[in-house]
Amino acid sequence: MKVKIITVAILHMLSTSWIEENLFAELTRTVIKEEIQHVDKLIDDLRSEVQNVRSEIKDLRSELQGFMLWSFGIVFAGIFALIGFVLWNRRTALAPAIRKNQELEERENKIESALKKYAQKEPRLKEILKHVGLM
């Protein structure tokens, strides 16, 4: 009877430890599968976040390119407007000086012609004009 009790006790201990090991192994596998699924979900979430960031960067890049094109357009338009204004202002500012110069040239021509006519009658004036190169 002692042998039966010991045998039953040993079998009970072996079966209990075998069941515990199998249960522990099964629980461990289940926990590991759940953790792997959780990690996979985290990786998928991270991938979607990276895609969202990439699309936001592309949107910002296109907006920045548009802004830069407008900025360059405005700068070049301003430069051309300034050049046009300078040319217009130069013509406008020079017009009175050109008119005055023409008036002075006409007056000089009249005075020179009057001196030449008077020099025909006055020999000393004729000599002076020849000496300075006007006759």
pLDDT of 63 over the 90 cut = yes
Sketch the domain layout of the chain as residue ranges: 2-132
What is the average pLDDT score of the chain? Answer: 84
- For 2-8, what is the mean pLDDT? 64
Range 86-115 burial, b when 16+ CB lie within 10 A, else e: eeeeeeeeeeeeeeeeeeeeeeeeeeeeeb
Instruction: Give the percent of the chain with pLDDT over 70.
Output: 79
pLDDT in tens, 109-125: 999 999 889 888 888 88
pLDDT in tens, 89-101: 887 878 888 899 9
- For 41-51, what is the mean pLDDT? 93
pLDDT of 73 over the 60 cut = yes
Distance from C-alpha of 91 to C-alpha of 98, rounded to nearest angstrom: 10
Q: Is the CB of residue 106 less than 8 Å from the CB of residue 112?
A: no
- For 20-49, what is the mean pLDDT? 81
Q: What per-residue confidence (pLDDT) applies to 43?
A: 92
Assign 10 a pLDDT band (cuts: 50, 70, 90): low
pLDDT of 11 over the 60 cut = no
Q: Is the CB of residue 119 less than 8 Å from the CB of residue 135?
A: yes
Q: Is the CB of residue 125 less than 8 Å from the CB of residue 118?
A: yes
Q: What per-residue confidence (pLDDT) applies to 35?
A: 85
